[in-house]
Amino acid sequence: MHKESEAHRLREMVKKIHLTDLLLLDGEGSLEKPFIIDSDVPLGDYLSVENDTIVYHFMYGGYASWQKMAQELIINENRTLDKITVKIYSLEGNGIVSSTRNMYFDITPFLGETKSEEENVDEKMKKMKYFIDRLSEDNS
């Protein structure tokens, strides 16, 4: 039996409860299976979809609260990932327990594939700079 991905589970839940579409295509949010956002989403909305995914993931995951701690771009197996470190708080017994979790989003479709070392490098670097600038604005 095929297990439904976290992306599909969240997307369906958000559609039912909030009557809106989360625009996640697949993934679990892990390094091995990062969330994949619909590549037709414009950059201005891309970061909103990432933030909404984190909110819904922890809201429906039974956590009391969460806080974004850090965000960085990493390369893993020729894929560019947006790594978001989140501190989560959960109720256990009579107290609150905190832990840290990393969530990953594959942003390679947004940046575009590079066919060779030289092809599209300038364009890809411009997109990465723009993406990083937007991250800096969101974190300030």
Q: How far apart are CA 41 and CA 35, in angstroms?
A: 14
Enumerate the domain spans of the chain: 6-139
Average pLDDT, the chain: 80
Q: At what angle do helices 43-59 and 121-139 cross, to 10 degrees?
A: 50
Strands 35-37 and 95-106: parallel
pTM: 0.74
Predicted pLDDT of residue 8: 85
Report which DSSP code applies to 105.
E
CA distances (Å), origin 32, targets 23, 87, 102 = 20, 20, 12
117 vs 134, higher pLDDT? 134
Predicted pLDDT of residue 140: 59
Predicted pLDDT of residue 117: 47
Amino acid code (one letter) for 81: L
7-16, 67-76, 94-103: the lowest-pLDDT one: 7-16
> What is the mean predicted confidence (pLDDT) over 108-123?
59
